[in-house]
Amino acid sequence: MENKYFTTPIYYVNDKPHIGHAYTSISVDVLKRFYKLLGCGSYFLTGTDEHGQKVEKAALDKGVDPKSLQIKSLKTFRALSDILNLDNDDFIRTTEDRHIKSVQNLWNRLLENDEIYLSKYSGWYSVRDEAFVAENEITEKDGKKFNSFGSELSWVEEESYFFRLSKWQDRLLELYDSVPNFVHPKSRLNEVKSFVSGGLKDLSISRTTFKWGIDVPNDDKHIMYVWLDALTNYISALGFPDQENKKYKDFWPGIHVVGKDILRFHAVYWPAFLMAAGLEPPKQIVAHGWWTNEGEKISKSLGNVIDPIELINVYGLDQVRYFLMREVPFGNDGDFSKDAMINRINGDLSNNFGNLMQRVLSFIFKNSNQTIDFTDKVLNFEIYQNIISSQNNLFEMMDKYSFDGYLKIIFGHLNDLNTYVDKSAPWELRKTDQVRMKEVLDQISLCILKITQFLSPFIPNGAEKVYSTFGLDESYLSFDKFDEIIKKNSLKISKPEPIFMRIDS
């Protein structure tokens, strides 16, 4: 099975993390955990973007130097990774030596390949997006200029090195045509294609009017444009410039999961930089949609930023992870509302999954000698066979990043199981047919075990809790260990702890 390398964007340290950052990180964590269960080699990178005018400006506004701001915010982003229970393999910072070495090496390759020249930039710039903005993308209001994201623009005029991006137009279009799903979803691929087909201008890749960045080699007047610096993190973490490094050989090219706001940097500039440096472009760029808060754009000035840590403290980690992955098809925009979240948690996790677990396992604990046996008859149980047969569908859903589609299939099985429990009523069978009662409980337990395995990338804590009730440690959550569970023949369960309690709105 081929190795998978998944990355999140590296987040700016100018501000505290919010729900959007948590969303991207959780989605990549789900992918990492899923492919790990499947037995693939998988690598997960996240980190922080610590240079640039935006970070420098935030530091100046707070009256501190960028280094201390960067250290303070780094702590919060690192803490968020822990709080989200991310299974990341590395956390990269763009101020680390390994990264600076890597970016400067990439620069030198571009220079050697005659992909860089010195000139002068004059035009509009969005500090908020760290982006140069073309005339045709500018709107005006009250005498001020804005880009399409509504960020205010400032005029920049300075000496700058340029990357010969215009030269890469045809090669980029070829790349989009030759690599299936290079950008996912297709609608975003079309957007990228039409941007590139419209013609590319050479890109300014250095700045001279401030200092907070990586030095351009052999020219102490210039620092690198923050996006050239930031994008390179994806290979710095694999040991670049050492292309013989095992991680680089095993995992590059990677799959970058990003918000739709930064698609152009990833699907146009990044593959062009890499190809121009003689390196392989990424495998795929996956762009997800944008969250709003109760219908409004999330922004500091509107005071409606959703703090993921607060949410987790109130609703629980697995609950927040599940809601974000289930509520909105990945790729679409979504609106966050507390009511929607409570309904989702109560409806799916509490009433459906948690309740099934609790009533069946407590009943077994009290009435069925606390053991579960997997006889052939149990293994032939129709709902279990349906779960097994849906496996390929589930893999396909994951392959096309349809997290909600995947979860819908699982919860369809859970609905069937709940109906089966009601219909076969083991509490009645206890009085009339204890052999059949045990068989029903064994069938349901088998299904719970399999379903929990499929759910575990989304709700890792809950899944571990369920498995430990069956006396199984987390290593049994891997797909190829399921046979071992079955071969155990008999499992003994301990007193089940309630999971996913109802939330009172």
Residues at the interface with ligand ME8 (CB under 6 A):
9-12, 20-21, 23-24, 49, 230-231, 233, 258-259, 261-262, 290-291, 298
Please, what's the largest Cα pairwise distance for the chain? 89
| Min separation Cβ 22 and ligand ME8, Å | 9
Q: Name which of 11 and 163 has its Cβ closer to ligand ME8.
A: 11
Q: Which residue is nearest to ligand ME8 (CB)?
A: 20
Bridge-based pairing state of the strands 42-49 and 4-12 = parallel
C-alpha 408: how far from its chain's center? 19
Q: What is d(CA 244, CA 104) in angstroms, rounded to the nearest whole number?
A: 18
Q: Name which of 402 and 452 has its Cβ closer to ligand ME8.
A: 402
Q: Name which of 256 and 413 has its Cβ closer to ligand ME8.
A: 256
Q: What is d(CA 493, CA 361) in angstroms, rounded to the nearest whole number?
A: 8
| Min separation Cβ 292 and ligand ME8, Å | 7
| Min separation Cβ 328 and ligand ME8, Å | 10
Sequence-distant (6+) residues with CB within 8 A of 60 are none
Assigned token pair, 206? 């250095």
Q: Name which of 130 and 442 has its Cβ closer to ligand ME8.
A: 130
Bridge-based pairing state of the strands 144-146 and 42-49 = unpaired
Could you check whether the bond before residue 217 is cis, i.e. omega within 30 degrees of 0?
no
Q: What is d(CA 88, CA 82) in angstroms, rounded to the nearest whole number?
A: 10
Q: Please name the amino acid found at residue 433.
A: D
| Under 8 Å between Cβ of 260 and 290 | yes
Taking residue 450's Cβ as centre, other Cβ atoms within 10 Å add up to 21
| Min separation Cβ 232 and ligand ME8, Å | 8
Q: Name which of 210 and 479 has its Cβ closer to ligand ME8.
A: 210
Q: Name which of 290 and 482 has its Cβ closer to ligand ME8.
A: 290
| Min separation Cβ 89 and ligand ME8, Å | 17
C-alpha 356: how far from its chain's center? 29
Q: Name which of 226 and 493 has its Cβ closer to ligand ME8.
A: 226
Q: Name which of 180 and 295 has its Cβ closer to ligand ME8.
A: 295
Q: Name which of 149 and 195 has its Cβ closer to ligand ME8.
A: 149
Assigned token pair, 235? 């290979």
| Min separation Cβ 331 and ligand ME8, Å | 11
| Min separation Cβ 440 and ligand ME8, Å | 44
| Min separation Cβ 270 and ligand ME8, Å | 8
DSSP characters over 4-27: EEEEEEEEETTS---HHHHHHHHH
| Min separation Cβ 46 and ligand ME8, Å | 10
Q: How far is CA 398 from CA 188, 348, 395, in A?
A: 18, 20, 5
Q: Name which of 289 and 405 has its Cβ closer to ligand ME8.
A: 289
Assigned token pair, 11? 């987040």
Sequence-distant (6+) residues with CB within 8 A of 253 are 5, 280, 281, 282, 283
| Min separation Cβ 108 and ligand ME8, Å | 20
Q: How far is CA 363 from CA 371, 430, 484, in A?
A: 11, 10, 25
